[in-house]
Amino acid sequence: MNSLLTEVGRKLADRWLSALVLPGALFVSAAMCGRWLGHSHALDTRRLQDMVQRVGQQLDGRPAAVLLAVAGALLGATGAGLAVQGTAAGVRRAWVARRPARWVAWRRRRAQSALTRRGHTVPTRYLPARATTIGDRFRLVDQRVDAQYGLAVALAWPRLWLLLADAATTAIRDATTRYRAATETTAWGILYLLLGAIWWPAALAGLVMVTVGQVRGRATGAALADLVEAAVDIHQRPLAETLGIDLPHGRITPEEGARINDILNKRA
């Protein structure tokens, strides 16, 4: 038990250090630079050096003050990291949001016009209906699975997850981790953009981070959606067999899909 608790404590400490403290410490350092330099002396390294030396002189020979400063820095870094976790959750919700309605309608009209110019047509359900490309890619998983099999992904996925092999679950977990990392990069960018109100170089860094987060979010979100859809394609027959549904066509059709939905929804 002691060995187990020691190992768990070590892993938690590593996660706390890598996920919260290190990026948070960089943000706290940028915030201090913004407080000391402001917009007028944003790139004045001599002024920054003088301020650091002054703080060092104030703490010299005062171990209690040094301890309090270190504790304050750690608390500030942890607070910034926790703020990013909450902001990242908001980013994920914003990427899959159905609003603002006018923006979604504009995206829909734009996609429809592009298809018309090319002489292509797609079902209405496949046109944009979310605020971002990322949200539409996740939504299309449900729409495509429903069109092909008549399955509701929201109902089927928890049961499918229990049927997946270790290799599949590992791949989906890794894709989820990369997607969440992209949202956290975007969240850090938002915080740096806010910091740009008092120190303009932070706004530039924030703009770069938001852009990188958006690009990575599109790539990792598409990869995650593909893996989920692939898992449904490959394991739709084991799901039906587990639930006792016969497949006369060798796969789930909308008729069997409706029966499965009825079973999973407890005939609601």
| High-pLDDT (> 70) share of the chain, % | 91
CA distances 119 to 108, 111, 112, 113, 212, Å, are: 17, 12, 10, 10, 34
pLDDT exceeds 50 at position 101: yes
- Mean of pLDDT over the chain: 86
- Cα(83)–Cα(103) distance, rounded to whole angstroms? 28
Name the percent of the chain lying above pLDDT 90.
Answer: 57
Report yes or no: 227 and 176 within 8 Å, Cβ to Cβ: no
Higher pLDDT pick, 58 / 242: 242
Mean pLDDT, residues 211-215: 95
CB atoms within 10 A of CB 27: 22
**Residue indicated by tokens 């040094």:** 66
CA distance 75 to 20: 10
Taking Cα atoms as reference points, which of 245, 218, 93 lies closest to residue 258?
A: 245
Tokens of 83: 């703020």
